[in-house]
Amino acid sequence: MQEDQNIGDSLTIQSVESRISDILENDFSVAVEALLFASPEPLEDRDIARVVGCNKRDIPSVIEQLNQQYQGWDRSFRIENFGGRYRIYTLPRFDTYISRLAEIPRPARLSKAALEVLSIVAYRQPTSKAEIERLRGVNPDGVLRTLLEKGLIEICGRSDGPGRPLLYGTTREFLDFFGISNLSELPVPETAEEERTAISLEIKRPPERLYPPSSIDETE
């Protein structure tokens, strides 16, 4: 009877160890998946292993496990090894939809001048053209027109000062453009120079498939 109890205890320990092993393996696979989603560039197995804390020889089996899950769940993507690096790709049968997405206009990347004006508006809104010109030392008419056309700023009233100049502020599109939910998420500048260059954020986009669309760099 004691022998049967020892066998039962042994099986219980093995069961617990197996569950722990499964949990650890799942944690690694989820971490690998997160890295591949977040990285703008394909990742080598050694880079993935170093970040998640495992042996790089384990990475191919983790990738295979993830791909089997994706296939079982009928997901639209897989992880592929391209030139010795791993990246998430969509399946060819979804190319039709992806090509339609490429036809949707995307916001252009802003020039340095536009970013400077936009940062002044964002941090000092509502602000006038005269205030922007005082800070930059350059007439901002052309840049303001561009930002208005893109919907990143808007006229939000008039000043009570002489001539009652127009006042500018940022829009909801400005928040969407930079991937933030409200103005409190903007970087906190300590100096006027930092304020003029604080808004140097990249547009937050979901992972691209193969070739990211070229960005337009305007030169106001």
Encode 51-72: b = buried (16+ Cβ within 10 Å), e = exposed.
ebebeeebbeebbeebeeebee
pLDDT tops 60 at residue 205: no
Task: Indicate if 15 and 56 belong to the same structural domain.
Answer: yes
pLDDT digits (tens, 9 = 90+) for 142-182: 999 999 998 999 999 888 888 889 999 999 988 888 878 88
**Domain shared by 122 and 184, yes or no:** yes
Number of domains in the chain: 2
| Residue 96 sits in the same domain as residue 116 | no
The pLDDT, as a whole number, for residue 74 is 94
Identify the domain boundary among 101, 126, 146. 101
**164/117 same-domain check:** yes
Torsional class of 81: left (φ above 0), alpha (ψ -120 to 50), beta (otherwise): beta
Q: What is the pLDDT of residues 11-70, one digit of tens each?
A: 443 443 444 344 345 577 888 999 998 888 899 999 998 988 888 898 999 999 999 999
Q: Are residues 92 and 150 in the same domain?
A: no
What's the domain range around 9?
2-101
Specify if 107 maps to a domain.
no
| Percentage of the chain modeled with pLDDT above 70 | 72
Angle at 75 between CA 71 and CA 79, to 5 degrees: 70
| The two structure tokens encoding residue 194 | 């930092």
Q: Are residue 39 and residue 80 in the same domain, yes or no?
A: yes
In the chain, the N- to C-terminal Cα span, in Å, equals 87
Residue 24: both structure tokens together: 């650890």
What is the SS3 string spanning the chain? CHHHHHHHHHHHHHHHHHHHHHHHHHHHHHHHHHHHHHCCCCECHHHHHHHHCCCHHHHHHHHHHHHHHHHHCCCCEEEEEECCEEEEEECHHHHHHHHHHHCCCCCCECCHHHHHHHHHHHHHCCEEHHHHHHHHCCCCHHHHHHHHHCCCEEEEEECCCCCCCEEEEECHHHHHHHCCCCHHHCCCCCCHHHHHHCCCCCCCCCCCCCCCCCCCECCC
Same domain as 143, residue 58: no
Q: Are residues 72 and 118 in the same domain?
A: no
d(CA 87, CA 13): 38
Per-residue pLDDT of 70-108, as tens digits, reads 999 999 999 999 888 999 999 999 988 888 877 776 656
Is 140:133 a contact under the CB 8 Å cutoff? yes
Same domain, yes or no, for 57 and 135? no
Could you tell me if residue 207 is inside a domain?
Answer: no
Nearest-angstrom CA–CA distance, 57 and 109: 40
- The answer to whether position 95 is within a domain reads yes
For residues 127 and 88, membership in a common domain is answered with no
Question: Domain holding 84: CATH number?
Answer: 1.10.10.10
Q: Is the pTM of this model over 0.75?
A: no
